[in-house]
Amino acid sequence: MPDTHFYHYDDFDRTLVAERVEQFRDQVRRRLAGELTEEQFKPLRLTNGLYLQLHAYMLRIAIPYGTLSTRQLRQLAAIARKYDKGYGHFTTRQNLQLNWIKLEDAPDAVAMLAEVDMHSIQTSGNVVRNTTADHFAGAAADEIEDPRVWCEIVRQWSTLHPEFSFLPRKFKIAITGSPNDRAAVRIHDVGLRLWRNPQGETGFEVIVGGGLGRTPMIGKTVREFLPKDEMLAYLEAVLRVYNRYGRRDNLFKARIKILVHEIGIEKMREEVEAEYAASKDGALKLDPQTIEAIARQFAPPPLPHRPAIAGEVERLKLEEPDFALWLKSNTAPHKMAGYRVVTASLKPAGAPPGDASSVQMEGVADVADAYSQSEVRVSHEQNLVLPHVAVEDLPAVYRALGRLGFAEANVGKITDIIACPGLDYCALANARSIPVAQRISNHFANLAQQHDIGDLKIKISGCINACGHHHVGHIGILGVDKNGVELYQISLGGDVDFGRTALGDIIGPAVGADRIVEAVDALVRTYLDRRDAGERFVDTYRRLGVEPFKESVYAAV
């Protein structure tokens, strides 16, 4: 196994995944032979990541804590080529979705995943799902501790957990190791935030009951400080309370956020703490050696010293304005001077956001092999990240990504749109989201203009399930269906950044598909006309309130 700088499977992990593949293979065989009804089979296929969408089955592949080796990324490309239409979609939960899978091929596809220590286990179904982390983990300058260690511990604990495989509903956990929460922990069923207390100890703030969808809620703190080695005991307590008391009478009221809302956070805390107290210091307490053996594998790669300033970079900044913009928007500070964290934007102008072809995946793998320690990350904004790029190598990386169309200088900008697959793919959707994203992206393609507009996060969901996270977009767009016509409801002021979580305010009646670009344009114009120096779109919105924005949108549509 090549030297990865994150957890790599031992024979135990491999055995489990291989045995799971064989179990699934047999279940598929029985389903195709008619020995299982669809009702009996559906939870089994969902907990192996296989959805039935409009046109075909979709396989959702887990990318734990959004971290991939280049070997793994190349295998994803190969699977997409062999069993799909040669492309995939990187999701808001750091997974990869392949949209054209056949049920009869699914066991072979997951067997190919197992070859590179990957799987699709529990990426769907009423189980604990892929635990997501900060996509800059292990590299970001503001990190207290690498959260991926804890994601891996949660991954193992939650995989085929015998007690929690039939929860009331799905369960999503996110972990951040930085005060700047890039993992959106407050909109997850459980969020864990690593922090250092005044005594200098590092522990978890445990947040419970966040989530988007029909009833968006921001999670509440159930425990301010939890010693790290108690994490599993505490999680087990939360899950047991949820499994026992979460609602099962109504699909739309079955998440833990509803339970917290209905009984209140004090009662929730009481139940969890009582359950936790009964099992504390027991079998679930993490042995320091267990933690250490996993943490050691996430030790950062030994990066050779490279200069913090590179002549070629400085020269290119002056010669190519787009490169200068790209440095600003698509690269971020690294723990180590002489390095930057590079985001490959999967939002080229006019392209379906977050998609990559097999050739592009292999291209990114090539760049990562040459310039990023053979490691790639998936952000929950549907982009890819090269976590360890030397400053001196930035021009070469810029060119190489540019050949793939992945060097658009738009990360965090208006065309860095997050969109769910929407009605083009998804059986749950009311409206399409990808064509809307494409039109907005084309309209604002000018890079200089985008940088002038500054940080602006547009998030588009094709239905109330909110897989596009529209509630937390600076501009949120929700597709609705009224008498067979696609309409789009606009909300403003949502946020998940800088430790701040806010849900957007709906501005008024939904807007037709043919006017949505005009609406967004009106919002941007209002911002540009009224902003104070240094204000982002969302700051101006907060200062002025909804009226000026509402006025200009409805005048324009």
Stretch 208-267 residues interacting with another protein (CB under 8 A)? 240, 243-244, 248
**Residue count at the site for another protein (CB under 8 A)?**
81
Please check whether residue 90 is in contact with residue 384, taking contact to mean a CB–CB distance below 8 angstroms: yes
- Asked if 465 touches another protein (CB under 8 A), the answer is no
- Asked if 8 touches another protein (CB under 8 A), the answer is no
**Residue 524 Cβ, how far from another protein at the closest point, in Å?**
23
- Asked if 360 touches another protein (CB under 8 A), the answer is yes
- Asked if 73 touches another protein (CB under 8 A), the answer is no
Task: Choose between 344 and 507: whose C-beta lies nearer to another protein.
Answer: 344
**How many C-beta neighbours within 10 Å does residue 350 have?**
14
- Asked if 352 touches another protein (CB under 8 A), the answer is yes
Task: Choose between 199 and 289: whose C-beta lies nearer to another protein.
Answer: 289
- Tokens 């990541």 belong to which residue? 49
**Residue 404 Cβ, how far from another protein at the closest point, in Å?**
6
**Residue 379 Cβ, how far from another protein at the closest point, in Å?**
19
Please check whether residue 263 is in contact with residue 235, taking contact to mean a CB–CB distance below 8 angstroms: no
- Asked if 162 touches another protein (CB under 8 A), the answer is yes
- Asked if 404 touches another protein (CB under 8 A), the answer is yes
**Residue 220 Cβ, how far from another protein at the closest point, in Å?**
23
Q: How far is CA 26 from CA 31, 35, 453, in A?
A: 9, 11, 54
Q: Which of 4, 5, 7, 20 binds another protein (CB under 8 A)?
A: 20
* String of DSSP letters for 392-460: GGHHHHHHHHHHHT---S-TTSTT--EE--GGGT-TT-SS--HHHHHHHHHHT--HHHHHHH-S--EEE
**Residue 237 Cβ, how far from another protein at the closest point, in Å?**
11
- Asked if 161 touches another protein (CB under 8 A), the answer is yes
Q: Which of 3, 11, 532, 547 binds another protein (CB under 8 A)?
A: 11
From 128, 54, 135, select the one nearest 91 (Cα to Cα): 135
Q: Segment 480-499, which members bind another protein (CB under 8 A)? A: 481, 484, 486
**Residue 546 Cβ, how far from another protein at the closest point, in Å?**
30
Q: Which stretch binds another protein (CB under 8 A): 52-60, 221-229, 295-303, 412-420?
A: 52-60
- Asked if 278 touches another protein (CB under 8 A), the answer is yes
Q: Segment 111-150, which members bind another protein (CB under 8 A)? A: 126
Task: Choose between 284 and 466: whose C-beta lies nearer to another protein.
Answer: 284
Cα-based angle 235, 72, 135 (whole degrees, multiple of 5):
50
Cα-based angle 244, 245, 250 (whole degrees, multiple of 5):
115
Tokens coding 503: 């849900």
**Residue 385 Cβ, how far from another protein at the closest point, in Å?**
19
Q: Which stretch binds another protein (CB under 8 A): 65-73, 133-141, 173-181, 403-411?
A: 403-411
Q: Which of 66, 203, 210, 363 binds another protein (CB under 8 A)?
A: 363
Tokens coding 184: 């959106």
Task: Choose between 349 and 502: whose C-beta lies nearer to another protein.
Answer: 349
Cα-based angle 376, 407, 100 (whole degrees, multiple of 5):
60
Buried b (16+ CB within 10 A) or exposed e, 37-67: eeeebbebbbbbbbbebeebbbbbbbbbbbb
**How many C-beta neighbours within 10 Å does residue 172 have?**
19
**How many C-beta neighbours within 10 Å does residue 529 have?**
10
- Asked if 85 touches another protein (CB under 8 A), the answer is yes
Q: Segment 498-557, which members bind another protein (CB under 8 A)? A: none
From 347, 468, 326, select the one nearest 416 (Cα to Cα): 347
Give strand pairing partners of 227: 203
Q: How far is CA 3 from CA 66, 70, 71, 282, in A?
A: 18, 11, 11, 35
Task: Choose between 48 and 501: whose C-beta lies nearer to another protein.
Answer: 48
Task: Choose between 313 and 400: whose C-beta lies nearer to another protein.
Answer: 400
Task: Choose between 338 and 350: whose C-beta lies nearer to another protein.
Answer: 350
Q: Which stretch binds another protein (CB under 8 A): 201-209, 358-366, 374-382, 521-529?
A: 358-366
From 212, 123, 236, select the one nearest 170 (Cα to Cα): 123
- Asked if 16 touches another protein (CB under 8 A), the answer is yes
Q: Which stretch binds another protein (CB under 8 A): 96-104, 210-218, 254-262, 495-503?
A: 96-104
Q: Segment 289-308, which members bind another protein (CB under 8 A)? A: 289-290, 293
Please check whether residue 67 is in contact with residue 149, taking contact to mean a CB–CB distance below 8 angstroms: no
83 three-class SS = helix
**Residue 238 Cβ, how far from another protein at the closest point, in Å?**
12
Q: Which of 7, 65, 87, 204 binds another protein (CB under 8 A)?
A: 87
Give strand pairing partners of 488: 479, 511
Residue type, 262: E
Distance CA 510, CA 478 (A): 9
Tokens coding 279: 């099992």
Task: Choose between 52 and 310: whose C-beta lies nearer to another protein.
Answer: 52
- Asked if 165 touches another protein (CB under 8 A), the answer is yes
- Tokens 């965090």 belong to which residue? 412
